Amino acid sequence: MNKSPNDNNMALGGIKVVDLTRAIAGPVCSSLLADMGAEVIRVESPDRDKDLANQPLADTAMKLFQRNKKSITLNMRTEKGKDLLRRLIKWGDVLIENFKPGVMQEMGLDYPNVKEINPRIVMVSISGYGQTGPYSGRAGLDWVGQAMGGIMSMTGPPDNPPMLAGAPIADISSGVFAALGAVTALYRSKSTGSGQQVETTLMDSIAYLMGFHIAKYAFGQDIVKGGLVTPGSGTFLTGDGHYIVIMGALAQHFPRFAQLIGRDDLAAAPGYQTRAERMEHAEEINAAIQAWMNTQTITVVETALEKVGIPFGRVQTIEELMKDPHLIARNRIVEVEVDGQKKIMPGPYPILSDTPGTIRAPCPELGEHNEEVYGNILGFSQDELTALKNDGVI
């Protein structure tokens, strides 16, 4: 586990974050900030384990994103609990929540009220559709964001029903954009002393990821599900059973690719000499490439493509990814301790040359930092903490 001698020497050292989030998008956001040195206090329900009893695997997986954070318990539905949360908001620089719009307002903790408590607070709100607009009252989860954001209309073979991406990209991208928004707002608050609300939504995030396709649509290009067959580019299967993506369609690449597979004619013959001409023969060309691939092993193909400078990448499984020598050489795979066991996952990201993110603490136990936060930060005595616990507030 990486160690940092002093969190204040890190990029976000000294930044204080109150984290009310659950599920995926919110914890991803706070995890990015925590990895870069922010002090993140994760506020959890005293009944969290009971609430998550029906989804133990998902909860265990998400624990990997709780590294570097402190955990306290708090019943935010009680008046005493709300008062404690207000004190934490006054202490913090950033407040992150991903409740359904309206929940924070019901608790009297929507942005106008939070701003009254702490004018410099940056409040990050992550939801399915946002705080305003016709869909704002709807519940939203990752799959819904993928559907409404447009990416499912492009995913999968042309004749198949719409398909989900293989990762929760609506949740993950919303968390990443939220962290970017938080840092951007913090940068402005340094000069103005005023915070602001940052919003990301599952639908908006996917729509942003679809920006290239939207731009093509704006210029009148057809948007085809599954993409067009592009001569020299695609996913091919080697003779020893490995899939590999090859991007050899560009003018500077294709003649070399054709020569490599022993088919110079596919680049030099009349009607095949330009990329536009080759588009008329796309299926024929890619069939010729696949015929060559059938006779090759993945190692031979990779070596040959790298030698002639054609972009490629084998389709890796999760197991292969976590063992990839390139990621390991760049220290991109780290160990995170969860429930006393060490698990591997991608390391802090993005990479900063002078103040890189680090893994400094394992996933905390539920309420592990109650005494530290309530006692040292908010100033409660041991007797007061005992009373709060007996009253079901913490």
What DSSP line would sit under 21-88, residue for residue? Answer: --TTHHHHHHHHHHHTT-EEEEEE-TTHHHHTTT-HHHHHHHGGGGTTEEEEE--TTSHHHHHHHHHH
In angstroms, the Cα distances linking 153 to 6, 169, 206 are 47, 15, 12
In angstroms, the Cα distances linking 227 to 99, 156, 157 are 36, 9, 9
Which has the closest alpha carbon to 89: 122, 131, 67? 122
Average pLDDT over residues 154-176: 95
Helix, strand or coil for residue 235?
strand
Which residues in 128-213 belong to E strands, given as ranges?
A: 197-201
CA atoms within 13 Å, Cβ hemisphere of 375: 12
Average pLDDT over residues 216-231: 89
**What single-letter amino acid sits at 18?**
V
Residue 236, strand partner residues: 244
How many CB atoms within 10 Å of residue 272?
21
CA dist., res. 16 & res. 308, Å (int): 51
Helix, strand or coil for residue 187?
helix
Question: In which band, very low, low, confident or very high, does the pLDDT at 2 lie, cut at 50, 70 and 90?
Answer: very low
In angstroms, the Cα distances linking 94 to 40, 121, 179, 187, 260 are 9, 6, 10, 12, 55
**pLDDT for residue 154 is more than 50:** yes
Question: Domains in the chain, start-ordered, CATH in brackets?
Answer: 7-211+331-390 (3.40.50.10540), 233-317 (3.30.1540.10)
Question: In which band, very low, low, confident or very high, does the pLDDT at 1 lie, cut at 50, 70 and 90?
Answer: very low
Average pLDDT over residues 220-235: 90
**pLDDT for residue 197 is more than 50:** yes
pTM of the model: 0.93
Lowest mean pLDDT among 26-35, 44-53, 77-86, 116-125: 44-53
**pLDDT for residue 316 is more than 60:** yes
CB 94 within 8 A of CB 16: yes
**DSSP H or E run through 306:** helix 298-308
Provide CB contacts within 8 A for 169, sequence distance 6+.
Answer: 142, 146, 151, 206, 209
What DSSP line would sit under 275-288, residue for residue? Answer: HHHHHTTHHHHHHH
Q: What is the pLDDT of residues 44-77, one digit of tens each?
A: 999 876 655 455 555 678 899 999 999 999 999 9
- Catalytic positions, please? 171
Q: What is the pLDDT of residues 257-281, one digit of tens each?
A: 999 999 999 999 999 999 999 999 9
Residue 70, strand partner residues: 41
Residue 314, strand partner residues: 244
Structure tokens at 258: 């054709």
**pLDDT for residue 91 is more than 50:** yes
Provide CB contacts within 8 A for 140, sequence distance 6+.
Answer: 127, 128, 129, 201, 202, 203
The average confidence (pLDDT) of the chain is: 94
**pLDDT for residue 5 is more than 60:** no
| Amino acid 263: pLDDT | 97
**pLDDT for residue 215 is more than 80:** yes
Q: What is the pLDDT of residues 324-368, one digit of tens each?
A: 999 999 999 999 999 889 999 999 999 999 999 999 999 999 999
| Amino acid 224: pLDDT | 86
CB 234 within 8 A of CB 259: no
| DSSP state at residue 118 | -
19: left (phi over 0), alpha (psi -120 to 50) or beta: beta
Better-scored residue on pLDDT, 388 or 6:
388
| Amino acid 266: pLDDT | 97
Average pLDDT over residues 100-106: 96
CB 58 within 8 A of CB 47: no
Which residues in the chain belong to E strands, given as ranges?
A: 16-19, 39-44, 69-73, 94-97, 122-127, 197-201, 233-237, 243-247, 312-314, 333-338, 341-346
373: left (phi over 0), alpha (psi -120 to 50) or beta: alpha
Instruction: State the residue for tokens 């133990």.
Output: 56
